[in-house]
Structure 1
Amino acid sequence: MFRSRELSPVELLEAVIARTEAVNGGINALTETLFEEALPAARQAAIRYARGRDLTPLLGLPVATKEKHGIKGRTLSQGLVARKDEYAVEDHPVVERIRRAGGIIHARTTTPEYSCATVTHSPLWGVTRNPWNRRYSPGGSSGGAGAALAAGLAPLATASDIAGSTRLPASFTGTVGFKAPYGRIPGLAPLSADHYRGDGPMARTVADTALLANVMAGRHLGDHTSLADGPALTVESASVAGMRIALCIRLGNYPVAPDVEANTRGVAAALRDAGAVVEEIELPWTVEATSRTMFTHFGYLLGPAMEDETAGSEELLAPYTRRFMADARRAAEENRFVDGVRAETRLQAELATAMEGFDALLCPASAVAALDADGMYLDGIDANGEQLEHYWQGHMTAPFNIANRCPVLAVPSGMADCGIPTGVQIVGHPFDDATVFTVGAAVEAVLPWAGRRPELLTLA
């Protein structure tokens, strides 16, 4: 529409600004807006379209960035009260690439403290709510991104994922999120060396997610783990005819809610109708072992990093942050680093064996259908009548951070009984990004989603 002059980048941005002013007060998805900077950039983009040259992939498109993706000269608090006056000294690599591609960063999105929770609230920014039903959370840690996309505050957003922080908000908000394989999208040192982590895109469609992923990917001098450019992602062909897809409902013993299971099976049936061979499999995993493996890893990397960053200001932290650090510390005390590595490689081998002969794996993103917007879950979570020790155990994303060379695309699967969306994960073989986008585009084609919008319901 920009190219045909049916729509101007200025008109689009003005519509996004009006939408933000109308509805963000009810969901609290943004930490700040950058409209004064964004409008001149939109005018410049309109001039470039009028001239018909220098047209870059994101030219004129508004992009909301997660607050942790620092913008030089802007605050970089990661939701911590003690760091609310700290500023980024450089652009994060994904910010740098979005701007180079012509994207206009018009807003920054909320997270829980240090992006360490699957709900999005903090003492600094308050509670972020799900636009589909404001009683519930949009998930975390990229909850502000998911809420902003679902509510129409942005067409594209950045996210990050160390245990599900992209895929869970996508699942809970009816949007699309991509956990790229480790190294595909560059991060910032020193945690860029953490092989669980990864930055990535979120959007409302599979094609838009691929567009942003292509911009974000590729080698970066600041991240020695980053990979050379791979083939550009495209969703022009969404055919799954003849593909073999493994369906795994419980990933071992996750207590999956009936509505989540029904929606996941609905996606599998739709893919079958589209010509894929879908075969149900089992995996020998347990919630307890996955949680222990994950927190052992956190106990040697993320946990100590968080303790260093928050030393002297512990009393200002949210209870969920203190709980996370304590759990990570305890896991490191109980398990050696090599114990964690053994557990990780065992899980990876089990996944490789299960996926042999299949093109992709399909499973739910979360065993529980919803989280309360302001929930702390310090005593665990009730999952389908089973009390789990830790609320992280209610989500099914962490195994694929442990097996983090696998690309994973989260796409909508339907509506939960409580009135918010559910989602599935499409898991590919290591570094086979193209396949998960092909399957994701097929799901989108057979189960159209883009026309569904939240009504911004009031609190129940």
Structure 2
Amino acid sequence: MDSLELAYLPATDALRAFRSRNLSPVELMEAVIDRAERTEPDVNCLSERLFEEGLAAAREAEKRYAGHGPAPRALEGLPVAAKDEHPIAGRLCTEGSLLLADEVAEETHPVITRVQAAGGIIHARTTTPEFCCAAFTQSKLWGVTRNPWSLGHSCGGSSGGSGAALAAGNAPLATGSDIGGSIRIPASFNGVVGFKPPYGRVPSMPPFNLDTFCHDGPMARTVADTVLLQNTIAGPWPGDVVSMRPKLELPSSFEGVAGLRIALCVNLGDYDVDPDVEANTRAVADALREAGAVVEEVRLGWTRELLDQAAWAHFGAIFGPSIGEAAADSPELLTGYARAFAERAAEAAGKITFLEGLELEGRLYAELGAVLERYDALLCPTTAVPALAADDEYTQTRLTIAGVEQEHYMAMAMTIGFNICSRCPVLSVPSGFAANGVPTGVQIVGRTYDDETVFRVGAAVEQLRPWAYVSGRRPLV
């Protein structure tokens, strides 16, 4: 197998090859490093390269598979790209901001600790927008991160570097986090898989572990690889009071979807949706019907106005002030989009109280809960457009979707409702490609804490409509 084939080898396949001694962890690490060095000048998705440490760890993993030392662990020898937002003790912890350019982490995020304890090798860290407050990835600290499928398009955000690293073949697994779609948007834009676990399934660090919109989760190129990483990072942790026990262990394979009842809602109430995105979403629904699922189109009583009010009441109380405090002394160092976010959050805080926001959250879940009482899962687009432009901050530009000019670029993110309804697990999987060659994605939304069903549906979609990477179709970068 040549270096390029190795770089795109699924993690589950790599583990089998390690165990049979047909592949060495060193060979895989060398392949993803080679791929990163070839693609990074164009894609720019790595904030920190830990290649020498990665090779050293791969050599130690190779010894374990050869029977020298302790037995191999669950992720033994697999390269894992870590979102830069996940701190690692002793390493820079900048949040993509010049304001924190010299900040060094004192603690390691539990997601990283669990990856390393399972034998996963953090060989690279991935870029984010400043303070993870945008749905694209660019900053004054790291520059612009681009979509490997189309360099003029964005890789999404805020886990954009992780999504791009997977698409470019720089890692088989990556970590992400999601406060408004930050795992699922990059999954859709880059044609990979991303899981927003239900609140509390994966532990996090104070204070944002107490923010119900916040979720840490796995990203990968296949559903099985996403399960592998999710099973590694899930479970209770002493430092997080909301981390759930007992740990949920997802199965390694899933039965088909015959007999499942799936609701289809293309516009989630009143979103404008790009025709290519809609066509690909409907194609996924048709494939599920052909596999024996009952797929019925439903109306959801959501409006973007209500979603925005609920979201900004929340951001105005928690996320916005955290950025505002960091920027108070040197606002000129902030990106335009981070300033705009902090200002919008402050404005919202003056208009709607946190309590009023909670009341709206309850109304919004009541609508979704009624649908999920009748159906096993909900299917909808992940984003209303295939991708954003890579170089635009969208502080001045008005985004147009399906011929309709939008008031804010985040009108393309069909994700925030499921951060509001945070106990619902959501899996984003590829749905196809737009006419411009950029991937599109669908969200599979489950009943509260029913993680297994969303993976069951996602695995069926992957089998029924094989996407890039598994069929040999890859970015040309």
TM-score (ref. length: structure 2): 0.94
Matched, 1:455 2:472: no
CA contact (8 A) 2:99 2:326 kept: no
Q: Does the aligned pair in 2 maintain the 1:238–1:439 contact within 8 Å?
A: no
Preserved contact between residue 167 and residue 475 of structure 2 (Cα < 8 Å): no
- Partners of 1:246 and 1:327 in 2: CA distance: 34
- 1:234 corresponds to which residue? 251
Match 1:400 to one of 408, 412, 418: 418
Q: Report the RMSD for the aligned CA atoms in angstroms.
A: 1.1
The Cα of 1:311 is off from its aligned counterpart by: 2.1
Q: Is the 8 A contact 2:235 2:248 kept in 1?
A: no
d(CA) in 1 for partners of 2:201 and 2:374?
25
Superposed, 1:69-80 pairs within 5 Å as: 69-80=86-97
Helix, strand or coil: the match of 1:406?
coil
Going from structure 1 to structure 2, the CA distance change for 1:269 and 1:119 (only over 3 Å counts) comes to same
Return the letter of the residue paired with 1:310. Answer: A
TM-score, structure 1 as length reference: 0.98
**Do the aligned residues in 1 keep the contact of 2:386 with 2:440 (CA within 8 Å)?**
yes
Measure, in 1, the Cα distance between the counterparts of 2:441 and 2:353: 35
Q: Does 1:36 align with 2:56?
A: no
Confirm or deny: 8 A CA contact 1:410 1:426 kept in the other structure.
yes
Pair 1:186 & 2:203 matched: yes
Instruction: Tell whether the 8 Å contact from 1:150 to 1:453 is kept in structure 2 after alignment.
Output: no
Which residue of the partner structure matches residue 82 of structure 2? 65
Residue number among 217, 224, 232 corresponding to 2:241 in the alignment: 224
- The counterpart of 1:93, out of the listed 110, 114, 132, is 110
Matched, 1:424 2:442: yes
- Structure 2 counterpart of 1:367, from 384, 390, 393: 384
Q: Secondary structure at the match of 1:2?
A: helix
Q: CA deviation at 1:226?
A: 0.7
Equivalence for 2:67: 51
Partner of 2:298: 281
C-alpha separation in 1, matches of 2:252 and 2:102: 42
Note the 1:56-455 alignment, pairs <5 A.
56-379=73-396, 380-449=398-467, 450-455=470-475
Question: How many positions carry a matched residue from both structures?
Answer: 457
Tell me the secondary structure at the aligned position of residue 154 of structure 2: coil
Identity %: 56
Q: Is the 8 A contact 1:235 1:441 kept in 2?
A: no
Task: Give the C-alpha shift of residue 107 in structure 1.
Answer: 0.2
SS at match of 1:340: helix
Counterpart-to-counterpart distance in 1, 2:368 and 2:166: 32
Task: Name the SS for the 1:160 alignment partner.
Answer: strand
Q: Distance in 2 between matches of 1:456 and 1:85?
A: 36
CA positional deviation for 1:235: 4.3
CA contact (8 A) 1:24 1:30 kept: yes
Question: Matched residues in 2 for 1:90 and 1:122: separation?
Answer: 24
The alpha-carbon deviation at position 452 of structure 1 amounts to 4.5
Q: Secondary structure at the match of 1:51?
A: coil
Find the aligned partners of 1:246 and 1:446 in 2 and give their Cα distance: 18
SS in 1 for 2:326: helix
Aligned residue identity for 1:98: V
1:34-56 CA-to-partner distances (Å, cap 9, x unmatched) read 01111111111111111185221
Matched to 1:66, the amino acid is K
Please report how far the alpha carbon of residue 307 of structure 1 lies from its aligned counterpart in structure 2 after TM superposition. Answer: 1.3
Aligned mates of 2:52, 2:325 — CA distance in 1: 36
Q: Which runs of 5+ in 1 are unaligned?
A: none
Q: Equivalents in 2 of 1:59, 1:119: separation in Å?
A: 32
In the alignment, is the contact (CA less than 8 A) between 1:247 and 1:281 conserved in 2?
Answer: yes
Amino acid in the other structure paired with 2:322:
A
Q: CA deviation at 1:234?
A: 2.1
1:291–1:393 Cα contact (<8 Å) kept: no
What's the CA shift for 1:369? 1.9
What SS does the corresponding residue of 1:299 show, helix, strand or coil? helix
Deviation at 1:288, TM superposition (A): 1.8
User: How many Å apart are 1:451 and its aligned residue?
Assistant: 2.1
Deviations 1:258-290 (A, max 9, x none): 000000000000001111000100101111221
Paired AA for residue 12 in structure 1: L
Q: Secondary structure at the match of 1:377?
A: coil
How far does the alpha carbon of each residue in 1:363-396 deviate from its partner, in whole angstroms, 9 at most, with x for none?
Answer: 0001122200011111442121112111112210
Aligned to 1:8: 24
How far apart are residue 223 of structure 1 and its match?
A: 1.0
Which shifted more, 372-381 or 70-79? 372-381
The worse-fitting range, judged by mean Cα deviation, of 228-237 and 372-381 is: 228-237
Tell me if 1:27 matches 2:43. Answer: yes
